[in-house]
Amino acid sequence: MRPEYYSFYCPVKILSGKKALAGLPYEMGLLGVKKALVVTDPGVVGASLLQKLQDALIGENLAIGVVYDRTPVDSSNKACNEIAKLFHENGCDCLIALGGGSCIDSAKGANIVISEGAADLLQFQGMDRLTKPQRPLVVIPTTAGTGSEVTLVSVIKDVDRNVKMPFVSDKLYPAIAVLDPVMTLTMPPKVTAATGMDALTHACEAYIDLQKNPVSDAFALAAVKLIFENLVAATQNGKDEDARLAMANAALLAGIGFSNSMTGVVHALAHAVGAICEIPHGVANAILLPWGLDYNLGKAARPIAELAGPLGLKNPPDNDVQRARLVIQAIRDLAGRLHELSGMAITLSEAGVAESQLERIARVAIDDGACIYNPEEIAFEDAWDILKKAY
Amino acid sequence: MGDKFHRWRALGVYQLKMWIARLALLAVGVAFEVAARLNRALRDEISVWAEGFVFSLGVLPHGPSIAIKKTGRGVRCFGKGLPNPNVAILFKNIDGALLVFLGRIGTPVAAAQRRFIVHGPIAESSQVARTLAIVQSFLFPRIVVDKTYRRPPRLGASGLPIKAAIYLALVPGLILRAVR
């Protein structure tokens, strides 16, 4: 199914593989930058990953001007303003985001403040609102799920109003993404499982949404295959560098896919679950993905069924709906296996959501921007119904 | 001579498209005002907007635009737009805008095809998109609405009288809003 019209964009240079980090100084030299501000968090510093970055820069013409290591769990507008201030005070000319989604989104948010010369980040909410070229941003993910190293999106929390604000612009794409397996080796099994399911959700939603197109499809299908082949192995044995690298690539491929076809009802609900109940995004996605696909069976049975191939399902039936149901069951089985291996929650109640919160979550979810890209319409009652099933 | 004629013709077609877009936008504005008074689903949607909330619909770079402002329990359409709206939905070009204004594609598909950009909070933009779906369901024939929306809004028993009220209001409404 080809769309009548689509556009596709991904200008990120990708360095992927063992010792990929060693190639960073040369690539940054090509960008003409000399002094970097590093955005990271205490967990990354504690796992000695900042040290690995510092080691990679020894003897090179690139210095770390300053390190911001206080990135909150949810990237916030206050953190972005602090980072921007540090950037100017230390005469930096580029940013390096070292960490998970929060560090990457904080760096993107700070870059908006720096590059637009903005006093208030809020004025740039929306789609395609940025007008000026951004400072070079290098992303070194330490989780394998968000895909933010190759996306045009940044989600920042307005701490005063307690709402998450999406910023969407082609100018938010980083300049370079570095996928080095040593940067994800220390990720605990539960985080590995949840972030991997986040990537799977990106890939699946990218493949079924209204904005799907032949180019994003290719990325999404490749991501699904890699995830089904490697997520269990990476969760079982965190030191398996091959599985780690495969998952890092899967997250990246899914990121490119969904950055060009967006996400749907699963993300709309997961954003609301995260905002109201502070459940990690990957866990919320893992719980809601099978139910979201099930909800879309009426409008998207064919694309869901087409996932049977990359999932490696043997002798699937010809009927689209039956095949799609098998795909959904395979995803449930994967989540179940990850639950056994890591303790990752597979129901909302298990994750700590109270039943009384479901109605509010549904009300917030239907205002999420992802709803518009979902194949099936989502009214409040529909969202509430999915949540009750996932509870 | 051929080149000159082609340029004049292209310019004429462009101006015609601009006029169609302007009329279509004004029609949406008039329909929005009438439906906001008479349709409960639309009233419920706009009830969450703060008094004075403004959204605008327009065409880049210099095309027509309208603004809808919440006033009391209803809305008021401004045919020449208003400065600093809370949410602005801006079509990237006139052809993309006409696909939506003439009922060829719905808002979800237009969003998926990235035909427009949004300035302002995404949550409020989603609410605006839902209200526009309701208004268009009154404005367009059923066959168009069924084709362009994932689940067309159900108009209910009051649907036909509201549709009639909107059509009756269109001619005087278009003239009035064009100068407001």
Q: Which of B109, B117, B129 shows the shortest C-beta gap to A210?
A: B109
Interface of B with A in 52-111 (CB under 8 A): 105, 107-109, 111
* CA of A127 vs chain B CAs: smallest distance (Å): 5
Percentage of chain B exceeding pLDDT 70: 97
In terms of pTM, does the model score above 0.90? yes
Number of folded domains that form chain A: 2
The residues near B15 (Cβ < 8 Å, ≥ 6 apart) are none
Nearest CB partner across the interface for B126, out of A128, A262, A369: A369
Contacts of A373 in chain B (CB under 8 A): 108, 111-112
Is A242 part of the contact surface with chain B (CB cutoff 8 Å)? no
Both A193 and A175 in one domain: the answer is: no
The pLDDT, as a whole number, for residue A152 is: 95
A345, A142, A144: which is closest to A253 by C-alpha?
A144
| Whether residues A198 and A158 fall in one domain | no
Task: Judge if A278 and A336 occupy the same domain.
Answer: yes
Show the 3-state SS of chain A: CCCCCCCCCCCCEEEECCCHHHHHHHHHHHHCCCEEEEECCHHHHHCCHHHHHHHHCCCCCCEEEEEECCCCCCCEHHHHHHHHHHHHHCCCCEEEEEECHHHHHHHHHHHHHHHHCCCCHHHHCEECCCCCCCCCEEEEECCCCCCHHHCCEEEEEECCCCEEEEEECHHHCCCEEEECHHHCCCCCHHHHHHHHHHHHHHHHHHHHCCCCCHHHHHHHHHHHHHHHHHHHHHHHCCCCHHHHHHHHHHHHHHHHHHHCCCCCHHHHHHHHHHHHHCCCHHHHHHHHHHHHHHHCHHHHHHHHHHCHHHHCCCCCCCCHHHHHHHHHHHHHHHHHHHHHHHCCCCCHHHHCCCHHHHHHHHHHHCCCHHHHHCCCCCCHHHHHHHHHHHC
Q: What is the pLDDT of residue B1?
A: 61
Q: How many CB atoms within 10 Å of residue A95?
A: 28
Note whether A381 contacts B: Cβ–Cβ < 8 A. Answer: no
Residues A69 and A101 in one domain: yes
- Choose one of A164, A183, A202: the last residue of a domain: A183
Would the CB atoms of B126 and A163 count as touching at under 8 Å? no
Mean pLDDT by 10 residues, chain A (391 residues): 88 97 94 97 96 92 94 91 96 97 96 89 87 96 96 90 85 98 95 97 97 96 98 97 97 97 95 91 97 97 96 90 97 98 97 97 94 95 98 97
Task: Judge whether A129 lies within some domain.
Answer: yes
CATH number for region B2-179 = 3.30.1050.10
Nearest by CB to A377, which of B114, B124, B150?
A: B150
For residue B108, give the nearest of A210, A261, A367 by CB distance: A210
Our CA angle for B63, B92, B94, nearest 5°, is: 50
Contact A369 B121 (CB under 8 A): no
- The last residue of one of the domains, among A183, A214, A245, is A183
Provide the 10 A C-beta neighbour count for residue A295: 24
User: Are A316 and A330 contacting, i.e. CB atoms less than 8 angstroms apart?
Assistant: no
Q: Which chain B residues are Cβ-neighbours of A296 within 8 angstroms?
A: none
Q: Identify the residue among B55, B91, B114 best suited for mutation to test binding to A, counting A beta carbons within 10 A and taking the highest.
A: B114
In order along chain B (180 residues), what is the average pLDDT of each group of 10 residues?
Answer: 85 94 94 94 93 96 94 91 95 96 92 93 92 92 90 79 90 72
Task: Measure the CA–CA gap between A129 and A115, rounded to whole angstroms.
Answer: 13
Whether A224 and A147 map to the same domain: the answer is no
B122/A368 Cβ within 8 A: yes
CATH number of the domain that residue A145 is part of: 3.40.50.1970
Helix (H) or strand (E) run with residue B118 in it: strand B116-119
Same domain, A216 and A352: yes
Q: A142 near A44, Cβ under 8 Å?
A: yes
For residue B129, which residues of chain A lie inside 8 Å, CB to CB? 372
Do A121 and A81 reside in the same domain of the chain? Answer: yes
Q: A193 and A173 share a domain? A: no
Residue of A nearest to B124 (CA): A367
Question: How many beta-carbon pairs below 8 A join chains A and B?
Answer: 74
Q: What is the pLDDT of residue B158?
A: 74
The per-residue pLDDT for B52 is: 96
- Which domain does A346 fall in, by range? 189-390
Asked whether the beta carbons of residue A126 and residue B122 sit closer than 8 angstroms, the reply is yes
The answer as to whether A4 is a domain residue is no
Instruction: Determine the pLDDT at residue A9.
Output: 96
B151 and A377: CB-CB below 8 Å? yes
Cβ <8 Å between B113 and A127: no
Domain identity same for A51 and A141: yes
Whether residue A77 lies inside any domain: the answer is yes
* A128 falls within a domain: yes
Q: ipTM of the assembly?
A: 0.89
Cβ separation A367–B120 shorter than 8 A:
no
Domain-located, residue A268: yes
Q: Looking at the complex, does the CB of residue A299 fall below 8 Å from at least one CB of chain B? A: yes
Domain assignment present for residue A82? The answer is yes
My answer on whether A155 and A299 are in the same domain is no
Residue A6 in any domain: the answer is no
- Tell me if B101 sits within 8 A of B24, measured CB to CB: yes
Domain boundary among A151, A183, A215: A183
Report the pLDDT value the prediction gives residue A1, as an integer from 0 to 100: 63
Q: Chain A residue closest to B129 (CA)? A: A372
Cβ <8 Å between A299 and B118? no
Residues of B in contact with A371 (CB under 8 A): 126
Residues A56 and A166 in one domain: yes
**Are A342 and A193 in a shared domain?**
yes
Chain A closest CA to B83's CA: distance in Å? 15
Q: Copy the structure tokens of residue A307.
A: 């996932």
